[in-house]
A and B are shown apart, each in its own frame.
Chain A
Amino acid sequence: MTEQDVHDTIVVIDDDYAMRLSCEQILGKSGYGVRSYEDGARGLEGVAELKPSLVVVDLKMPGLSGIEVIPRIHEIDPGIVIVVITGYATIGTAVDAMKAGAYDFLPKPFSPDELRLIVRRGLERRRLVAESQQAEIERELMKRRFVTFVSHQLKTPLVAVHQFLEVLQRLGDNADASAKRREWTERCLVRTTEMRTLINNWLTLSQLGGGTLSRHRVDLDVRELLAHVVGEHAESAARQDIRLELTPGVPLPVHGDRTCLSVLFENLIANAVKYNRPGGSVRVEGTVDSGEVVVAVTDTGLGIPAGDLPYLFDEFYRVRRSGDETLTGTGLGLPISRRVALEMGGAIEVESTEGAGSTFRVRLPSCPAPSSKTEPIR
């Protein structure tokens, strides 16, 4: 995002000729398209015609006052950012202007830098709002397509298996066919396993909603569980040149469902490896902090755009990035993880910087009994 976004047009409404001129010069030099008007009525016509990104409006003008102009600008386009200019004597009015929908105010006299800064901040905010609206729309669309999408996900492995069987049935009995038969039988097994995982994920998800898990709780040490899951991912991490390490630490006693907690950490660690890059690392660390077991999974991977974070734990929400089309996923891993954490009386949170990596942190109530009573891993 450049400082001078050539697409941004700014309208200035001020009865003071000198003020209009200096705004035009300051903002024009920063690369914005600027138009100025000497009163509210003409200003509104200009806004309707130009559809600017931002309007700078003086509060104290003859005719339509700035306060009256603000709602009428937003009638034209609620997305327009409004900055009001005011003298020191009218700070109270500036507060009223903010209540009427202005984004910020600039007291007179102001320096060119102050004007540029406030405009830049206003435009940045406008972009953020637009992005989150876009994300909201996508989420809504995704919900509507939910059923279609689920059945498609379930059908995909079934289609592959069906197609293999149908072709095998039609191929003759030559050597080539028997080689294919061996290879494809193997693939059919892989795909039916995939389908089973998918269905199991679904069932776990719906069970979690029903609260049936409380019956299966035992005292266990999460540290052993983590060691098990990390061990399972060691090979695939090494293959992708990713350093996967479990920081040895204290016992992590919780009272919970072993299978579901495995699914939770399995999802987090698998994601940290998957959305990573060669030479990167994944660190898994468990601590006990004021009665809570805290497990942090930190990766140096692709990171998550800020606009996606609020929806990350929604069913079937997937972060869209260009260039990662090969990374497939069900969009169920994180929703399941969150439900497991909640069901166990805990929580899950994420911090992420796009391009730098993410940390997923799971908090679970630690169980008072020491680890002596815990069951060993299978």
Chain B
Amino acid sequence: MTRGYRILIVDDDADYVAAVGAYLEANGFTVVTAANGQEGLRMAARHRPALIIMDVMMGDRTEGLFAVNELRRLPGLERTPIIVASALYTTEPEFTVPPEAEWLAGATFLGKPVDLSVLLERINTLLDMG
């Protein structure tokens, strides 16, 4: 079981956050949440999460993608694993952007709804690598 790692979920859908958050807590993680990109940046700076789960469409714009880039500029968060989860992706687009990329560096993309087993496995893999 996982060792109290802190995970930040940034998503404007409170129901999704409640469901996924409860699942992660049941699996031993500490969960902090934010409802938009700006708040996500503040929470990330304050709580130093071990991993971030980021939505893309917040409000009516692709705010999450910009938030990822902003996060990469915050000291200490340059390498934090980020999972970008969005219903924008119709197939299983699971791919990871190379860490040296200028845009969305190191982000792993997942489609929504996320398969909880896949999510958990991915989180553990990313945390073990770091």
Residues of chain A having any CB pair with chain B under 8 Å: 148, 151-152, 155-156, 158-164, 166-167, 170-171, 180, 184, 187, 191, 318, 320, 325-326, 328-329, 331
Contacts and interface: CB of A to CB of B under 8 A. Distances in A.
A152 B15 contact: no
A151 B111 CA distance: 13
A326 B59 CA distance: 7
Interface stretch (B20-28, B67-75, B76-84, B94-102): B20-28
Interface-centre pick from A163, A180, A318, A329 (highest chain B CB count, 10 A): A163
Given A159-B112, A328-B59, A187 B15 contact: yes
Interface of B: 12-13, 15-16, 18-20, 22-23, 26, 35-36, 38, 57-61, 63, 86-88, 90, 112-114, 116
Interface-centre pick from A151, A171, A325 (highest chain B CB count, 10 A): A325
Nearest to A142: B60
A358 B57 CA distance: 28
Given A160-B15, A170-B23, 8 more contacts: A152-B88, A156-B13, A159-B13, A160-B19, A166-B113, A191-B15, A325-B58, A328-B60
Contact of A171 (B26, B59, B61, B90): B26
Which 10 A/B pairs are nearest by Cβ-Cβ distance? A160-B15, A163-B19, A155-B87, A162-B113, A325-B59, A167-B23, A159-B113, A159-B112, A167-B19, A164-B19
A158 B112 CA distance: 10
Contacts of B36: 325
A154 B16 CA distance: 15
B24 to A, nearest CB: 10
A329 to B, nearest CB: 8
A164 B35 CA distance: 18
Contact of B22 (A152, A155, A180, A320): A180
Contacts of B35: 326
B116 A170 contact: yes
Contacts of B20: 163, 167
A199 to B, nearest CB: 16
Contacts of A159: 13, 16, 87, 112-113
Given A170-B23, A171-B26, A318-B60, A163 B88 contact: no
Contact of B18 (A155, A162, A184): A184
A50 B116 CA distance: 58
Contacts of A318: 60
17 contacts: A152-B88, A156-B13, A156-B87, A158-B87, A159-B112, A160-B15, A160-B16, A167-B116, A170-B26, A184-B18, A187-B18, A191-B15, A320-B61, A325-B38, A325-B59, A325-B63, A328-B59
A56 B26 CA distance: 71
Contacts of A167: 19-20, 22-23, 116
Contacts of A171: 22-23, 26
A274 to B, nearest CB: 14
Contacts of B59: 325, 328
Contacts of B114: 163
A201 B40 CA distance: 32
B113 A163 contact: yes
B38 to A, nearest CB: 8
Nearest to B15: A160
Given A148-B88, A325-B58, A331-B60, A163 B16 contact: yes
B23 A152 contact: no
B19 A155 contact: no
Interface-centre pick from B13, B20, B22, B23 (highest chain A CB count, 10 A): B22
B11 to A, nearest CB: 10
A331 B60 CA distance: 9
A204 to B, nearest CB: 21
Contacts of A166: 19, 23, 113, 116
A346 B108 CA distance: 51
A183 to B, nearest CB: 8
A167 B36 CA distance: 23
Given A170-B23, A180-B22, A325-B58, A164 B15 contact: yes
A348 B87 CA distance: 35
A320 B62 CA distance: 13
A167 B119 CA distance: 12
